[in-house]
């Protein structure tokens, strides 16, 4: 089914950490959204033609509400950070695939702005009856979504500067933890995903990763967000796949990192 643009209504927005904003939108995109998907937001400034892809943090389909948590990284997201209750923003979505629910002792892992999309997944896993753990990596003590994650999982924290939790990476924190997951879900920068893929292969644990790539169209037409795969893509007939259309979620063993 083709996606169309719509006007989403801003319900509220707040800054929850330096440069990190939480945006609540009323939109029909919430009706069919799934954990791990994303939406594309369009700027009102016409010189910024391409939409900005933002992962979905929370879904309230009954009330047609999505929560997006994003980092201000350029002119487009700077514009979004000025949105207030009652404003409208053009949106297309939900886009991409999502995470499947698996495992009795799953761990959801996020690094930086890869933290937000793991919240809805953690909630859905908890509702399935799983013993959910989360491992989240931050730069410093400016944590975000900590309370929400603690309410849905056993939270383990890693910080680059050692100010809170494990001083190191999410893999370090995972190795220090007192549990062994039977499935790994992760979203974050590529070095983090690469390390988790290696860890999962060593431990023989199924691992799903959500890729963070620059996108243009968001629907698979422009091929601007391809990544290399271990298999041949049906669309391009080469070892490539489209992150926006075929992902952003992949089995770690299916993609080259």
Q: What is the 3-state secondary structure (H, E, C) of the chain?
A: CCCCEEEEEEEEEEEEECCEEEEEEECHHHHCCCCCCEEEEECCCCCCCCCEEEEEEEEEHHHCEEEEEEECCCHHHHHHCCCCCCCEEEEEEEECCCCCCCCCCEEEEEEHHHCCHHHHHHHHHHHCCCCCEEEEEECCCCCCCHHHHHHHCEEEEEECCCCCCEECCHHHHHHHCCCCCCEEEEECCHHHHHHHHHHHHHHCCEEEEECCCCCCCCCCCCCCCEEEECCCCCCCCCCEEEHHHHCCEEEHHHECC
Question: Which residues does the chain have with pLDDT short of 50?
Answer: 1, 215-218, 220-227, 238-239, 242
Domain assignment of residue 101, yes or no: no
Let me know if residue 100 belongs to a domain. no
Q: What is the CATH number of the domain that holds 250?
A: 3.40.50.80
206 belongs to a structural domain: yes
Domain boundary among 45, 76, 95: 95
52 and 130 in a single domain? The answer is no
Environment class of 250 (CB within 10 Å of its CB; exposed 0-12, middle 13-18, buried 19+): buried
What CATH number has the domain bearing residue 21?
2.40.30.10
Query: 235 and 125: one domain?
Result: yes
Is the pTM higher than 0.85? The answer reads yes
- Looking at the fold, whether 86 and 177 belong to one and the same domain comes out as no
Confidence at residue 248, expressed as pLDDT on a 0 to 100 scale: 82
Q: What local confidence, expressed as pLDDT, does residue 233 receive?
A: 56
Pair (23, 66) in one structural domain: yes
pLDDT at res. 243: 55
52 and 132 fall within a common domain: no
Domain range holding 229? 106-254
Smallest CA-to-CA distance from 188 within 13, 20, 17, 55 is with: 55
Considering the domain architecture, whether residues 231 and 132 belong to the same structural domain is answered as yes
The per-residue pLDDT for 217 is 45
Q: Which of 61, 95, 129 is the last residue of a domain?
A: 95
Clarify whether residues 110 and 63 are in a common domain: no
Domain boundary among 95, 121, 139: 95
pLDDT in tens, 198-254: 999 999 999 999 986 554 444 544 444 444 555 555 655 544 554 555 668 999 988
Q: How many domains does the chain have?
A: 2
């Amino acid at each position: 089914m083709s996606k169309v643009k719509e006007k989403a209504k801003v319900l509220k927005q707040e800054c929850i950490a330096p440069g990190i904003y939480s945006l609540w939108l009323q939109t029909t995109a919430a009706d069919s959204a799934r954990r791990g998907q994303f939406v594309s937001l369009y700027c009102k400034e016409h010189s910024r033609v391409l939409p900005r892809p933002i992962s979905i943090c929370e879904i309230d389909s009954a009330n047609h509400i999505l929560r997006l948590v994003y980092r201000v990284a350029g002119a487009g997201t700077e514009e979004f950070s000025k949105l207030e209750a009652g404003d409208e923003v053009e949106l297309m979505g939900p886009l991409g695939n999502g995470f499947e629910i698996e495992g009795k002792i799953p761990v959801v892992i996020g690094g930086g702005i890869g933290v937000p999309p793991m919240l809805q997944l953690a909630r859905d896993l908890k509702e399935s009856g799983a013993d959910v753990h989360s491992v989240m990596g931050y730069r410093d003590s400016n944590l975000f979504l900590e309370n929400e994650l603690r309410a849905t999982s056993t939270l383990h924290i890693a910080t680059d500067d050692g100010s809170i939790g494990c001083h190191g990476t999410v893999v370090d924190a995972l190795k220090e933890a007192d549990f062994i997951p039977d499935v790994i879900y992760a979203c974050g920068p590529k070095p983090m995903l690469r390390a988790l893929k290696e860890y999962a292969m060593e431990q023989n644990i199924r691992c799903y990763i959500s890729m963070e790539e620059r996108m243009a169209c968001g629907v698979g037409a422009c091929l601007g967000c391809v990544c290399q795969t271990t298999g041949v893509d049906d669309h391009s007939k080469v070892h490539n796949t489209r992150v926006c259309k075929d992902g952003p979620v992949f089995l770690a063993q299916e993609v080259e990192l």
